[in-house]
Amino acid sequence: MASGKKKRGQSDEVKTEDAVLAQNLDYQAPGRAVGITAMLSLVAFTAVFMSYQSTQLERDDRADLAQSPVVENFALPADPLWGFVAIPAGEFTMGSNPQRDRMAYENERWSATQRQGRVELPEYFIGRFEVTNAQFANYLTDTDSPNAALFAALDPALPVTSVSLPQMLSYARWLDAQLRTSAATPTVLREALEAGAKVTLPNEAEWEKAARGTDGRLFPWGMQPSDAFANIGGAALLPVGSHSCEPCSYGLSDMAGNAWELTRSALVDYPFTPSSAEALLDVDSLWVMRGGSYQDSINNVRAAVRGAVDPSVRNPTIGFRLVISSL
């Protein structure tokens, strides 16, 4: 992270040297070896200083995030759409073409004759962040769950993990009911719900469009691998939104890395067709998860990657985010 203090430090140093020169008419220029040593020392000091400043700014950003205002009782971000982002209606390219993406897996292929497909989706809204421990704890408290205290004791800004698909869907149904009955629900969201949308997990297509946009990018931030915009190859989960990603599609955070995100799509071969998670929970199938986790390398955080897990699994690297969708 860039620091605005480096230039000030350099300016002060120049002024100090000028003052010494003005006061010492017998000043002699240092020898070459002494000059190089001084220069290397300055470079080393500057590097350490910038590293320290970067660490401090990252800590400050995380502290600000943890203390950001939230909607009371829901712990949703207190922005105009309560943490949801509108994804416009329209087509996008789904799946992978190995000629453009050498890391593509076979289950990302559209069909036997087609590498990628075009999918058209209506407008929907997706969470800017992964669902947090604080949000899930509020749901458990409101429903008198015996697990409420357990989740309330966790870091509130971390993505909630170690919950099963049925638990995720239960939280989504609870939030759906809260948004329908709250007088404070943003008008845009209320109108979407009244028109037939519901709060749920994204299906595969909704998740992938939100991650890669409509320009066919390989990663949420673009075409090139990078660890600058995501928590990948790391040691632990980070608070949601810890890695800012200005170039990411629709301004979403953690669509790559941090926690895998479970969807409401069963793992079946493409072409993609929408299906109801609730209707398929009894089907003997694995369920698709997207985005990779903090433990994964760059090949598993591409926008088209399809992981899968049993719906009953509770894993510390698997979380979720929500959509308000009419599908």
Task: Label residue 287 by pLDDT band (50, 70, 90).
Answer: very high
CB-based burial label for 313 (10 Å; 0-12, 13-18, 19+)? middle
- Average pLDDT score over residue span 102-127: 95
* The predicted structure's pLDDT at residue 207: 98
| Helix, strand and coil in the chain, % to nearest 5 | 35, 15, 50
- Average pLDDT score over residue span 139-167: 96
* The predicted structure's pLDDT at residue 72: 75
- Average pLDDT score over residue span 292-319: 96
Q: Residue ranges of the domains in the chain?
A: 6-66, 70-325
**Distance from the Cα of residue 167 to its chain's centroid:** 21
Q: Which residue's entry shows tokens 């992964």?
A: 130
- Average pLDDT score over residue span 267-292: 82
User: Considering the chain, what is the average pLDDT of its residues?
Assistant: 83
Check if the beta carbon of residue 318 is closer than 8 Å to that of residue 199.
no
- Prior bond to 271 cis, omega within 30? yes
Task: Label residue 280 by pLDDT band (50, 70, 90).
Answer: low
The verdict on domain 70-325 having CATH code 3.90.1580.10 is yes
* The predicted structure's pLDDT at residue 119: 96
Question: How much of the chain exceeds pLDDT 70, in percent?
Answer: 77
DSSP code per residue over 204-248: HHHHHHHHHTTTT-SBTTBSS--SSSSB-S-SS---TT-S--TTS
Q: What is the pLDDT of residues 154-173, one digit of tens each?
A: 999 999 999 999 999 999 99
* The predicted structure's pLDDT at residue 314: 97
Check if the beta carbon of residue 295 is closer than 8 Å to that of residue 92.
no
SS3 call for 199: strand
What is the C-alpha separation between 144 and 130, in angstroms, rounded? 23
Q: What beta strand segments (E) does the chain contain?
A: 70-71, 76-77, 84-87, 90-95, 116-121, 124-127, 198-200, 260-266, 287-290, 307-309, 318-319, 323-325
Question: What is the model's pTM?
Answer: 0.79
What is the C-alpha separation between 252 and 126, in angstroms, rounded? 9
Q: What is the pLDDT of residues 191-241, one digit of tens each?
A: 999 999 999 999 999 999 999 999 999 999 999 999 889 999 999 999 999
